[in-house]
Amino acid sequence: MFRGIAFMLNDKMCVTVGDNEMMCRIDPDLHEASIKRKGCRTMIMKGKEYKGWVLISEEGMKTKKDFDHWISLALGFNKKAKSSKTGKA
């Protein structure tokens, strides 16, 4: 589904990295404000925009403060995100 490495937390996808960008699963209520930040854009898959999923380019995480911002948003939302775990083998 996604290229690169996915980091799961509490059986939920939280962050992925690959191809010089990072994807974070954030609170959909913070999506519009987040995509206004430098280097951030909405994830689009098969022509569909996914609110609450953002891609951050190298430009958007040049500093540790920038990187920590995105990780903090992803970890914060993970606490209330629903798991897609089905329990199937």
3-class secondary-structure state, position 36: coil
CA proximity to 4, closest of 39, 40, 55: 55
Does 17 map to a domain? yes
Phi, psi of 6 (to 5 degrees): -105, 135
Does 66 map to a domain? yes
Does 86 map to a domain? no
The reported pTM is 0.87
- Tens-digit pLDDT profile for residues 21-43: 999 999 999 999 999 999 999 99
- Tens-digit pLDDT profile for residues 2-23: 678 999 999 999 999 998 999 9
How many domains are there within the chain? 1
Say how far apart CA 1 and CA 39 lie, in whole Å: 23
Does 89 map to a domain? no
Does 87 map to a domain? no
Say how far apart CA 56 and CA 67 lie, in whole Å: 9
